[in-house]
C-alpha cells in the first residue's frame, strides 16, 4: 500500500471525541471547568490532522479513487455487508470542505464559546459530528453511510439542545430529531427495497453501479424502473428529511436555537448537504428514473421559492440565514433533478463557504451585541465591527450571485443546466429559479442593510459594549470570506476553468451522459445566462436598497422575534400541515387505544376470569392431609392404568 | 416345577399393595417411609421377574436395573430420614397428619 490508510480520516476526530468526552466527564463535577486552552487546542488539532490526511490523499488520488475494505461487518445468510471506504472525486471534494471548514469552525468556536460551562462537552460533540460526517461521506456502502447519517442526526440533536437549561432549545432539538427520523425511515425502506431487488450487493455503491450497467446492457430497464423508482423515491424522502426540503423542512429554522458555530457547521455547510451528496452517490440509479427526477425538480423549486419568501419575513438574523439555507438547498435539488449532479455538488461546495462565512459573521454580530439576534435592534454596525461587516458583505455578494463571486458561478451553472434540460419544463423551472434569485438578493440585502447600515437601534447601554470579535474568531471568518470569493473559480465555465467538473466526472459523468442521451440538451449561449443571473442579483439588490434603506424600522421593545400576522402563517405553513398530519395520526392512535386495546383487553379479562373460577373449584380437591393426598394420587394412577388397559392398551 | 413368572408378579403386586397401604394408612412417618421402601422393592422384584421371561443374554438388563434402583433407594432413604429427623426436631411429633404447614 503506497498511500495513507483511509481509516486515518475518521480516526482522528474519533480520538478527539474520546479525549474531549473524557475531559468533559471528568471535569463535570469540578467547580472550575477544564483549561480552555488545552481543550481548544485538542478540538482544533484532531479535525486539522484529519484535514491534512485528506489533503495528502487528495493530491495523490488516481482517477478511479481509492477503495479499502476494513473488515466484515454483517455476515448472515442472504445478507453481507463490509465496513469499507471509498475515496473518489465526489468524496474527495466533500471531505476536503467537511474537514477543512470543520477545523475552521472549531477554531472559531474557541472564541464564541469562551466562558461557557460546557466548553469541553461542546467540542466533544463537534468532533463526534465530524467523525460521523466523515463516515457518511467516506463509506463505500449505503449501510455504512446510514451509520454516519444517523450519527450526524444525533450530533445535530445534541448540539441544537446544547443549552439545555432552556426548554425552547430542547423542544427544537426534539423537533429536529423527530422530523429527521421520518426521513430516516425512507432511507431504511429504500435500502430494503434495493436488497429486495438484487440482494445485499446492491447496497455497495460499486455493486449498484455494476448492477445498473448490467441492467442497461441486458435491456431490462423497463421491467426494473418501477421497483427502482420506489427505492429512489424512498431515498429522496430520506434526503428531504436531512436536507430540509418540502415537506420535512420545518426543523431547520428551529434548529437555530443551537450555538451559532453549530448552525454554521451542521445546519449550513455540511450535514444538510448530505441529502444532495446521497443523490449524487446514487446518480447511476437516479438517471434512469425520470418520474422521480421530475418530483425532485419540483420539490427543489417549490422549496427554493417558499423558503426565499419566508426568509423575507424574518426578523431574527439567524432565521433569515436558515431560510436562505433551505432555499439554496432547493437549488441543489433542482440541479440534481435535471441530472446535473456535478453542478449541484459544486453549489454545495461554494455554498459551504459563503453560508459558513455568513453564519460566522452573524455569530460575531450576536457575540458583539451580547446575544441580541433581532435585526430590528441592530444597525450601523459597519463602523464598529468593520472586519465582520466586510466578511459578511463578501459572502452576501457570493450568495446573491454577484459576477466573479463563488455563488455566481455555481448558481448560474445550475440555472443554465435547468434551462437546457427540457423544452417546456426547463424554462418554467428556470424562471422560478431566477425569481428566487431576485428574492434571495432582496432578503440578503435586507439583512445586510438592517445589520450594518443606517443607525443603531438598540439601547444605549449595549451600544457602548459593542466590540469587534477576537482574532481567533476573525481568522476563520476571513479565510471563509476568501473561499466565498474565489472557490467559484474551480469551475468557471465562461472563462474555461473546468477543474471541478473533471474531478467529478469519474463519479457522476456516466450517469449524466446516460441522461443526456435520453434528453438531449439544447445548446444556448452561456453568456445570456450569466447576464440574466447578474441582472437578477443587481435587481434584487436595488430593490432591497430602495425598500429597506429608507424604511423606518421601529426599534421594538418586546423580546419576541416571531413574525406576526400573515407573515407568521406563511412562515409556519408547513408546521400547520404537519399538525394536520399529526392530528390524523392522533385520531388513529385514539382509535387503537379505545377500540382495539380495550376490546382485546375485555376478551383477555374474560378468559382470565373463567380460568380463575375453574382453578378455585379444582383447588377444593387439594386437602391438607398428606396421607389422603397420597391416596388420591395412587387412586388416580390406578384409574389411569385401568383406563389404558380397558381401552385396549397403549398401542 | 419351574418357578412361573406369573407368580413372581403376583408376589410383587402383593408386596407393592402392602407397601402402599402402609404408606397411606400409617400415621407414623417411619412406617410411611418403610412402606415406600417396600413398594420400591416390589417394583425391583417385578423387574427381575420379567427379566426371567427373556432369553438369557437379554435378561441381564432386567437384572442390572434393580441394582441401580437399590442404590438410588438407599440414597433416597438417607435423605428422607434426614428430613424426617429435622422435621421431628421442629414438631416434636412423627405424626404425618400434623405436618400440614404448607397449606396445600
Question: Which residues in A382-494 belong to E strands, given as ranges?
Answer: none
Q: Which of B17, B21, B24 to mutate to test the interface with A (most CBs of A within 10 A)?
A: B24
Q: What is the value of ipTM here, to two decimals?
A: 0.71
Report the gap between the CA of A641 and the closest CA in chain B (Å).
14
Q: Rounded to an integer, what distance in angstroms lies between the CA atom of residue A376 and that of residue A314? A: 10
How much is the average pLDDT of A278-292? 91
How many other β-carbons are positioned within 10 Å of the β-carbon of residue A37?
Answer: 9
* pLDDT tens column, A569-595: 778 888 889 999 999 999 999 998 888
Closest CA to A115 of A396, A367, A355: A367
With CA atoms as reference, report the closest residue to B62 among B15, B1, B12, B2.
Answer: B12
Cell 434512469 found at: A288
From the candidates A621, A627, A633, A635, which should be mutated to test the interface with B, based on the most B CB atoms within 10 A?
A627
Residues in B touching A629 (Cβ below 8 Å): 104
Q: Is A199 left (phi over 0), alpha (psi -120 to 50) or beta?
A: left
Q: How much is the pTM?
A: 0.79
Reported in sequence order, the residue ranges of A266-411 that DSSP labels E, i.e. its strands, are: none
Which of B24, B103, B104 lies at the smallest CB-CB distance from A627? Answer: B24
Name the percent of chain B lying above pLDDT 70: 94
By Cβ distance, the residue of A622, A624, A630 closest to B24 is A630
CA A116 to chain centre: 26
Binary contact (B96, A627; C-beta < 8 A): yes
Helix (H, G, I), strand (E, B), or coil: what is residue A77? coil
With an 8 Å Cβ cutoff, are A623 and B104 in contact? yes
Distance CA A128, CA A392 (A): 28
B interface with A, Cβ–Cβ < 8 A, is: 20, 23-25, 27, 32, 96-97, 99-100, 103-104
Four-CA torsion A235, A241, A246, A250, nearest 10 degrees: 170
Residues of B in contact with A630 (CB under 8 A): 23-24
Model confidence at A110: pLDDT above 80 = yes
Contact B23 A629 (CB under 8 A): no
In chain B, whose CA is at the least distance from the CA of A635?
A: B20
Rounded to 10 deg, the angle between the A221-242 and A205-218 helix axes is 150
User: Quick count: other Cβ atoms within 10 Å of Cβ A163?
Assistant: 16
Indicate whether B96 pLDDT > 80: no
Q: What is the pLDDT of residue A233?
A: 94
Four-residue CA torsion sign, A398, A402, A403, A409: positive
CB-CB contact of A442 with A544 (8 Å): yes
Lowest mean pLDDT among A75-84, A245-254, A519-528: A519-528
User: With contacts defined as CB-CB under 8 Å, which chain B residues touch A624?
Assistant: 100, 103-104
Q: What is the pLDDT of residue B84?
A: 87
A 595-634 near B (Cβ less than 8 A): 622-627, 629-631, 634
List of chain A residues whose C-beta atoms are within 8 Å of the C-beta of residue B25: 627
DSSP class of residue A596? I
Q: Please answer yes or no on whether A630 and B25 come within 8 Å at the CB atom.
A: no
Is A438:A444 a contact under the CB 8 Å cutoff?
A: no
- Is omega for the bond preceding A247 within 30 degrees of 0, making it cis? yes
Give the C-alpha distances (Å, rounded to integers) separating B14 from A633, B11, B42, B45, B62: 19, 5, 8, 11, 20
Contact residues on chain A for B23, CB-CB shorter than 8 A: 627, 630
pLDDT grade for A437, boundaries at 50, 70 and 90: very high
A616 CA to chain B: closest CA distance, Å? Answer: 13
Return the residue of A nearest to B24 by Cα. Answer: A627
Return the sign of the alpha-carbon dihedral for residues A308, A310, A314, A317.
negative
Cell of A391: 466578511
Residues from chain B that touch A623, judged by Cβ atoms under 8 A, are 104
Q: Residue B104: which of A622, A627, A631 has the nearest Cβ?
A: A622
Longest CA span, chain A: 112
Q: Name which residue leads in pLDDT, B48 or A379.
A: B48
Query: If you count them, how many residues does chain B have?
Result: 104
Report percent pLDDT > 90 for chain A: 47
The predicted structure's pLDDT at residue B10: 93
Residues 6+ apart with CB under 8 A from A578: A247, A250
Residues of A in contact with B40 (CB under 8 A): none
Torsion of CA A257, A36, A268, A527, to 10 degrees: 140
Report how many Cβ contacts below 8 Å link chain A to chain B. Answer: 24
DSSP of A122-168: HHHHHHHHHHHHHHHHHBSBHHHHHHHHHHHHHHHHHHHTSSTTSHH
Q: Which chain A residue is nearest to residue B32, measuring alpha carbons?
A: A627
Q: Assign B104 a pLDDT band (cuts: 50, 70, 90).
A: very low
Q: Name every chain A residue with its beta carbon within 8 A of the beta carbon of B97.
A: 625-627
The residue count of chain A comes to 651
Which residues between 209 and 248 in chain A have a beta carbon less than 8 angstroms from any beta carbon of chain B?
none
Which segment of A375-384, A554-563, A564-573 scores lowest on mean pLDDT? A554-563
Band of residue A60 on the pLDDT scale cut at 50, 70, 90: confident
Rounded Cα distance between A457 and A455, Å, is: 6
Calpha distance B24→A634 (Å, rounded): 9
Looking at the complex, report in whole angstroms how far the Cα of residue A629 sits from the nearest Cα belonging to chain B.
9
Cα–Cα distance list, A110 to A24, A40, A325 (Å): 15, 6, 24
Partners of residue A631 in chain B, C-beta under 8 Å: 24
Strands (E), A527-624: none
pLDDT tens sequence across A489-548? 888 877 777 888 888 888 888 888 888 888 777 777 778 888 888 999 999 999 988 888
Query: Would you state the cell numbers that stand for residue A131, as one nine-digit string?
Result: 467523525
Q: What's chain A's average pLDDT?
A: 88
Distance from the B1 Cα atom to the nearest Cα atom in chain A, whole angstroms? 31
Is the per-residue pLDDT at A87 higher than 80?
A: yes
Each residue's pLDDT tens digit, A152-198: 999 999 999 999 888 999 999 999 999 999 999 999 999 999 999 88
Beta bridge partners of A204: A141
DSSP string, B7-73: HHHHHHHHHHHHHHHHHHH--BHHHHHHHHHHHHHHHHHHHHHHHHHS-HHHHHHHHHHHHHHHHHH
**Residue range A3-49, pLDDT digits in tens:** 788 888 999 999 999 999 999 888 887 777 778 888 889 999 999 99
Of chain A, the percentage scoring pLDDT greater than 70 comes to: 97
Contact residues, chain B, for A634 at CB < 8 Å = 20, 24
Q: A634–B99: do the CB atoms touch at under 8 Å? A: no
Per-residue pLDDT averaged across A458-472, rounded? 81
C-alpha cell at A632: 388420591
- In the predicted structure, residue A124 carries a pLDDT above the cut 80: yes
Nearest to A378 by CA among A325, A468, A448, A473: A448
Residues 482-501 on A with a CB inside 8 Å of B are none
Secondary structure letter of residue A84 according to DSSP:
E
Interface contact flag, B100 A624, Cβ < 8 Å:
yes
Tell me, what's the pLDDT at B1?
A: 62
Distance from CA of A618 to the nearest CA of B (A): 12
Would you place residue A557 in the very low, low, confident or very high pLDDT band (cuts 50, 70, 90)? low
Please classify residue A427 by burial: count the beta carbons closer than 10 Å to its beta carbon, then call 0-12 exposed, 13-18 middle and 19+ buried: middle
Q: Is B103 exposed, middle or buried (0-12, 13-18, 19+ CB in 10 A)?
A: exposed
Q: What is the mean pLDDT of residues A44-63?
A: 90
Give which of A615, A620, A625, A626 to mutate to test B binding, by max B Cβ within 10 Å: A626
Amino acid at each position: 500500500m503506497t498511500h495513507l490508510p483511509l481509516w486515518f480520516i475518521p480516526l482522528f476526530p474519533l480520538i478527539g471525541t474520546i479525549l474531549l468526552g473524557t475531559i468533559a466527564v471528568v471535569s463535570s463535577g469540578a467547580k472550575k471547568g477544564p483549561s480552555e486552552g488545552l481543550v481548544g487546542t485538542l478540538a482544533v488539532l484532531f479535525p486539522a490532522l484529519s484535514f491534512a490526511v485528506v489533503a495528502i490523499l487528495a493530491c495523490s488520488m488516481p482517477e478511479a479513487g481509492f477503495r479499502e475494505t476494513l473488515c466484515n461487518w454483517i455476515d448472515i445468510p442472504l445478507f453481507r455487508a463490509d465496513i469499507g471506504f471509498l475515496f473518489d472525486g465526489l468524496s474527495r471534494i466533500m471531505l476536503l470542505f467537511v474537514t477543512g471548514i470543520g477545523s475552521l469552525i472549531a477554531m472559531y468556536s474557541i472564541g464564541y464559546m469562551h466562558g461557557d460551562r460546557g466548553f469541553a462537552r461542546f467540542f466533544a460533540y463537534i468532533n463526534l459530528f465530524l467523525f460521523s460526517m466523515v463516515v457518511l461521506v467516506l463509506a463505500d456502502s449505503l449501510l455504512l453511510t446510514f451509520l454516519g447519517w444517523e450519527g450526524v442526526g444525533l450530533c445535530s440533536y445534541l448540539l441544537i439542545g446544547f443549552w439545555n437549561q432552556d426548554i425552547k432549545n430542547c423542544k427544537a432539538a426534539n423537533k429536529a430529531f423527530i422530523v429527521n427520523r421520518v426521513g430516516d425511515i425512507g432511507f431504511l425502506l429504500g435500502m430494503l427495497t434495493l436488497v429486495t431487488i438484487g440482494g445485499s450487493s446492491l447496497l455497495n455503491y460499486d455493486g449498484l453501479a455494476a448492477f445498473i450497467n448490467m441492467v442497461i446492457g441486458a435491456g431490462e430497464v423497463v421491467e426494473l424502473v418501477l421497483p427502482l423508482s420506489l427505492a429512489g423515491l424512498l431515498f429522496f424522502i430520506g434526503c428531504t428529511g436531512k436536507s430540509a426540503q418540502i415537506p420535512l423542512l420545518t426543523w431547520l429554522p428551529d434548529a437555530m436555537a443551537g450555538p451559532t458555530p453549530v448552525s454554521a457547521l451542521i445546519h449550513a455547510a455540511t450535514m444538510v448537504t448530505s441529502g444532495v451528496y446521497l443523490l449524487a452517490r446514487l446518480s447511476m440509479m437516479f438517471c434512469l428514473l425520470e418520474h422521480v427526477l421530475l418530483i425532485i425538480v419540483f420539490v427543489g423549486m417549490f422549496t427554493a421559492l417558499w423558503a426565499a419568501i419566508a426568509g423575507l419575513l424574518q426578523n431574527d438574523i439567524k432565521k433569515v440565514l436558515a431560510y436562505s439555507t433551505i432555499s439554496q438547498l432547493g437549488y441543489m435539488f433542482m440541479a440534481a433533478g435535471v441530472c446535473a449532479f456535478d453542478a449541484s455538488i459544486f453549489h454545495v461546495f461554494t455554498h459551504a463557504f459563503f453560508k459558513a462565512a455568513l453564519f460566522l459573521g452573524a455569530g460575531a454580530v450576536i457575540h458583539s451585541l451580547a446575544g441580541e439576534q433581532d435585526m430590528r435592534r441592530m444597525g450601523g454596525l459597519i463602523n464598529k465591527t468593520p472586519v465582520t461587516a466586510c466578511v459578511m458583505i463578501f459572502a452576501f455578494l457570493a450568495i446573491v450571485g454577484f459576477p466573479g463571486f463563488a455563488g455566481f458561478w455555481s448558481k448560474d451553472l445550475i440555472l443554465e443546466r435547468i434551462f437546457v434540460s427540457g423544452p417546456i419544463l426547463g424554462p418554467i423551472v428556470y424562471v422560478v429559479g431566477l425569481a428566487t434569485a431576485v428574492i434571495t438578493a432582496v432578503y440578503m440585502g435586507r439583512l445586510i442593510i438592517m445589520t450594518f447600515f443606517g443607525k443603531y437601534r438598540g439601547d444605549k447601554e449595549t451600544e457602548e459594549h459593542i466590540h469587534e470579535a477576537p482574532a481567533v474568531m476573525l481568522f476563520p471568518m476571513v479565510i471563509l470570506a476568501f473561499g466565498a470569493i474565489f472557490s467559484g473559480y474551480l469551475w468557471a465555465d465562461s472563462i474555461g476553468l473546468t477543474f471541478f467538473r473533471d474531478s467529478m466526472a469519474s463519479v457522476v459523468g456516466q450517469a449524466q451522459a446516460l441522461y443526456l442521451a435520453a434528453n438531449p440538451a439544447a445548446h444556448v449561449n452561456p453568456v445570456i445566462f450569466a447576464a440574466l443571473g447578474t441582472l437578477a442579483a443587481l435587481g434584487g439588490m436595488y430593490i432591497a436598497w430602495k425598500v429597506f434603506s429608507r424604511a423606518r424600522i421601529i426599534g421594538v421593545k418586546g423580546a419576541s422575534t416571531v413574525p406576526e400576522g400573515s407573515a407568521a402563517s406563511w412562515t409556519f405553513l408547513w408546521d400547520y400541515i404537519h399538525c394536520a398530519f399529526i392530528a390524523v395520526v392522533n385520531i388513529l392512535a385514539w382509535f387503537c387505544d379505545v377500540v382495539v386495546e380495550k376490546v382485546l383487553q375485555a376478551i383477555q379479562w374474560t378468559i382470565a376470569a373463567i380460568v380463575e373460577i375453574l382453578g378455585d373449584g379444582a383447588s377444593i380437591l387439594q386437602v391438607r392431609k398428606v396421607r389422603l393426598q397420597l391416596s388420591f394420587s395412587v387412586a388416580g394412577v390406578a384409574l389411569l392404568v385401568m383406563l389404558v388397559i380397558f381401552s385396549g392398551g397403549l398401542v | 416345577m419351574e418357578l412361573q413368572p406369573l407368580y413372581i408378579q403376583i408376589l410383587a403386586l402383593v408386596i407393592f399393595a402392602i407397601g402402599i397401604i402402609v404408606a397411606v394408612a400409617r400415621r407414623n412417618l417411619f412406617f410411611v417411609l418403610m412402606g415406600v421402601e417396600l413398594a420400591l422393592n416390589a417394583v425391583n422384584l417385578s423387574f427381575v421377574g420379567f427379566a426371567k421371561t427373556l432369553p438369557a443374554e437379554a435378561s441381564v438388563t432386567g437384572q442390572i436395573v434393580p441394582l441401580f434402583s437399590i442404590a438410588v433407594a438407599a440414597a433416597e432413604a438417607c435423605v428422607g430420614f434426614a428430613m424426617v429427623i429435622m422435621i421431628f426436631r421442629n414438631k416434636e411429633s412423627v405424626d404425618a397428619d400434623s405436618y400440614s404447614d404448607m397449606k396445600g
